[in-house]
């Protein structure tokens, strides 16, 4: 049976509010808060020396003016990169935040958090260990707990061991994955997060019928968001949380 249910919100801002500000930056988290998102989702990986930062890709190239693999670059070098100009000139000088900075902002803004463990290859356990250490150190016990999600069962296993009281979510690229129930059960997940491109009514019914909370990512079309809601999706993860919240 699934772990205790988590109260999923109707909408979560994806990488902050990635339609309005450069993803996974403090600017994006602030944009989500300004636009009324009650929750935000963001990604965590490690620098060369093992510091948790908020970043999605394995390489720096797409969202910064740096190049190469994140896993071999120091925090000092990453902090010197421009993580905003690629999105627009108004965001020139935005930085890659540490997980600590992101958590402090989320807490100050009163937001809920879906924290995705997004390890570079081979760092699945290490990334979860370091991320959970920061979360346990900074997240107040009086606040509703963050939801810890990952595509990587090894990362979720660390989360289960290190912070069993925090709800966990299994991320899936495709529907009908034969091993999904095995992984969700083994890591005592509360939720399953599916790509909206692959999510069918039958798949949604299977997930919900098994007792898991169901989220869909990354949904930026209002009509699609309503269709997903109608087949049982409880939570829409979107780059435009204000627009999708209004549509629902």
What are the angstrom distances between the C-alpha of 141 and each of 137, 138, 145? 10, 9, 8
The two most distant CA atoms of the chain are separated, in Å, by 49
What is the pTM assigned to this prediction? 0.96
pLDDT given for residue 1 in this prediction: 45
183 belongs to the catalytic site: no
The low-confidence residues of the chain, meaning pLDDT below 70, are 1-5, 176
* Collapsed DSSP state (helix, strand, coil) of residue 166: coil
Q: Which residues pair with 53 in a beta bridge?
A: 45, 98
CB-side neighbour CA atoms (13 Å) of 204: 19
Q: Which residue has the tokens 């989500």?
A: 32
Residue 31's H or E segment, with its range, is: helix 26-34
Q: Which residue has the tokens 């989320």?
A: 106
pLDDT given for residue 11 in this prediction: 98
Q: Can you list the domains of the chain with their CATH numbers? A: 11-59+98-247 (3.20.20.190)
Report the distance separating Cα 70 and Cα 47, nearest Å: 6
Beta strands in the chain (DSSP E): 11-14, 39-46, 52-54, 112-117, 147-150, 168-172, 191-195, 213-217, 235-238
Q: What confidence tens digit (pLDDT) does each residue in 159-202 have?
A: 999 999 999 999 998 776 788 999 999 999 999 999 999 899 99
Looking at 14, 183, 193, 197, which residue is catalytic? Answer: 14
Q: Which residues pair with 115 in a beta bridge?
A: 42, 148
Report the distance separating Cα 85 and Cα 63, nearest Å: 9
pLDDT given for residue 4 in this prediction: 54
Q: Which residue has the tokens 């999600």?
A: 149
197 belongs to the catalytic site: no
Report the distance separating Cα 166 and Cα 139, nearest Å: 11
Give the length of the chain: 248
Q: Which residue has the tokens 């707990």?
A: 145
User: If you ran DSSP here, which 8-state letter would residue 146 be given?
Assistant: P
Output the CA angle 173-30-95, nearest 5 degrees: 80
pLDDT given for residue 3 in this prediction: 53
pLDDT given for residue 2 in this prediction: 60
Got the DSSP string for 199-218?
A: --HHHHHHHHHTT-EEEEE-
Please report, for the chain, how many H helices and E strands are present, in that order: 9, 9
pLDDT given for residue 173 in this prediction: 86
pLDDT given for residue 179 in this prediction: 86
Report the distance separating Cα 133 and Cα 96, nearest Å: 19
């Amino acid at each position: 049976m699934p772990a205790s249910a988590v109260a999923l919100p109707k909408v979560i801002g994806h990488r902050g509010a990635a339609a309005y500000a450069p993803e996974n930056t403090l600017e994006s988290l602030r944009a989500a808060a300004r636009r009324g998102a009650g929750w935000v989702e963001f990604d965590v990986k490690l620098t060369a020396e093992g510091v948790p930062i908020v970043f999605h890709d394995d390489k720096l190239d797409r969202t910064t003016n740096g190049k190469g693999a994140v896993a071999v670059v120091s925090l000092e070098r990453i902090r010197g990169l421009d993580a905003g100009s690629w999105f627009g000139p108004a965001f020139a000088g935005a930085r890659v935040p540490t997980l600590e900075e992101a958590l402090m902002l989320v807490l100050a803004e009163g937001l809920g958090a879906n924290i995705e463990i997004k390890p570079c290859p081979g760092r699945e356990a290490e990334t979860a260990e370091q991320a959970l250490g920061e979360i346990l150190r900074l997240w107040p016990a009086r606040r509703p707990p963050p939801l810890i999600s990952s595509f990587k069962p090894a990362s979720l296993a660390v989360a289960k061991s290190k912070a069993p009281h925090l709800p966990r979510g299994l991320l899936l690229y495709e529907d009908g994955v034969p091993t999904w129930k095995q992984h969700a059960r083994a890591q005592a997940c509360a939720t399953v997060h599916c790509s909206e491109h692959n999510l069918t009514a039958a798949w949604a019914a299977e997930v919900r019928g098994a007792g898991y909370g169901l989220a869909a990512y990354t949904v930026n079309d209002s009509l699609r968001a309503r269709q997903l809601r109608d087949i049982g999706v409880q939570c829409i993860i979107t780059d435009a949380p204000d627009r999708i919240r209004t549509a629902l």
